[in-house]
DNA sequence: CGTGGGGGAGAACGCACGTTCTCCCGCTCG
DNA sequence: CGAGCGGGAGAACGTGCGTTCTCCCCCACG
């Protein structure tokens, strides 16, 4: 059954196009052209565009958090791990096709229109916040800090998207996070 | 010349509808219906929808920064002024029709499509950042802090929009900002 | 070899919407 | 009073796009 392959190709095209040009600016026909998957098959796999959008966000969510977790796992010191998040954000921002946070952008585009998209955005952000909360807890830091680190990360993502200024927002957010961690008695191996 | 009045009415309708439902979800006909300004007149005042969008963002920018500045001006202590920004954000988030930051949402919707909208979003965010930089400088704090406070504010705005959780993100961001200010030797009258 | 069903290509359909055009009213100025 | 024009209501036009339909090919099975 190569419908699994077709599904992957469709999602690959969706990810490139939706992320790069915005969701409403991309038609189902563009997805077909970029993926080589016929319209008929596309509509078998995803009965409506909205479901393709949600599937795109879901798959990207999995991959995004995995990449982050992989990077963070490269550090041993629990205090350092919290800050490693910002290193990774900087790497992400540096990528040439970086255009901001896919979920924030999608929310801006469809948050008022599509409940399913909104739900997916909230799910993703909650998962990210929970992940940070785990890192903060493991470092023996107070739980309030998790939310504060989260806000810094979100601010860095929005700003990096709008300014297209590369990793700078992540570095600045990382310095702020370091101050907050040390202010709470945290220690940070270099 | 009541074309000034028609312009205001058009912009009032545009602000309510674009902000509340998203820009692409609102047609020029909806603007006409909500404003009472005929299509003919609308197109005299704004030769294309994009220009109405930009005008909406510009007018909102002026008003938004004025409201913020008015609130902050109610505090005497320069250190306290920096934190007053977050008090005001909390008040804003509490408003019943709050749906996130209009510029962040517009960027998500049209950033990939419309250069003019992107330019307006960057202008607004730069003005906000400059304003914060002034507050930080007046408080005798290092200029790096301005960017950090800015990132916290952006993070709070995005999060408040997505979560619809009221003033909490602003309060948490305010606590973080307070720690950063105090960590830099700033003093904060209560 | 015949047949039937799954799939591809792309036309067709319906609708939404940005923009323009038509028609007509009412006011203003001579 | 009469001519002309600015403006309102809304139809019309063109296009884009989500979704479905038509037609045809190809291959598995009797």
pLDDT of B145-166, one tens digit each? 999 999 999 999 999 999 999 9
Q: What is the pLDDT of residues A92-148, one digit of tens each?
A: 999 999 999 999 999 999 999 999 999 999 999 999 999 999 999 999 999 999 999
B25 CB neighbours strand C below 7 A: yes
A13-21, Cβ contacts within 8 angstroms, sequence gap of 24 or more: A13/A37, A14/A52, A14/A53, A14/A55, A14/A56, A15/A56, A15/A59, A15/A60, A18/A53, A18/A56, A18/A102, A18/A106, A19/A60, A19/A97, A19/A99, A19/A102, A19/A105, A20/A97, A20/A99, A20/B112, A21/B112, A21/B113
Rg (CA), chain B: 18
Residues of A in contact with B25 (CB under 8 A): 112-113
Contact A105 B108 (CB under 8 A): yes
**How close, in Å, is residue B127 to chain A by CA atoms?**
13
**CA pair distance B81, B72, nearest whole angstrom:** 6
**Region B114-141: what's the mean pLDDT?**
97
Distance A19 CA to C5 C1' (A): 37
pLDDT at A184: 76
Is residue B187 predicted with pLDDT exceeding 80?
no
Q: Which residue has the higher pLDDT, B16 or B4?
A: B16
- Judged against a pLDDT cut of 80, whether residue B132 lies above it is answered with yes
A72 touches strand C (CB under 7 A): no
**Shortest Cα distance, chain A CAs vs residue B2, angstroms:** 33
Distance from CA of B22 to the nearest CA of A (A): 6
Interacting residues of B29 by C-beta distance below 8 A, sequence separation 6+: B39
- pLDDT tens for each residue of chain A, 190 residues long: 678 889 999 999 999 999 999 999 999 999 999 999 999 999 999 999 999 999 999 999 999 999 999 999 999 999 999 999 999 999 999 999 999 999 999 999 999 999 999 999 999 999 999 999 999 999 999 999 999 999 999 999 999 999 999 999 999 999 999 999 998 776 766 6
A-interface mutation test, from B155, B167, B171, most A Cβ less than 10 A away: B155
The pLDDT value given to residue B189? 61
């Amino acid at each position: 059954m190569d419908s699994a392959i077709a599904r992957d190709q469709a999602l690959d095209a969706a990810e490139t196009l939706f992320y790069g040009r915005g969701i409403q600016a991309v038609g189902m026909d563009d997805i077909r052209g970029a993926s080589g998957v016929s319209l008929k098959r596309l509509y078998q796999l995803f009965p409506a565009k909205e479901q393709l959008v949600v599937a795109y966000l879901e798959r990207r969510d999995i991959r995004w958090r995995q990449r982050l977790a992989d990077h963070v796992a490269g550090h041993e010191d629990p205090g350092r791990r919290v800050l490693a998040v910002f290193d990774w954000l900087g790497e992400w921002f540096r990528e040439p096709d970086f255009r901001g946070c896919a979920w924030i952008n999608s929310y801006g585009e469809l948050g008022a229109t599509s409940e399913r998209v909104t739900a997916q955005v909230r799910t993703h952000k909650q998962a990210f916040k929970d992940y940070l909360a785990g890192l903060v807890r493991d470092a023996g830091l107070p739980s309030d800090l998790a939310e504060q680190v989260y806000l810094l990360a979100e601010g860095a993502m929005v700003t990096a998207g709008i300014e297209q200024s590369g990793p700078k927002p992540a570095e600045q957010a990382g310095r702020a996070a370091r101050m907050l961690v040390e202010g709470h008695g945290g220690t940070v191996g270099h």
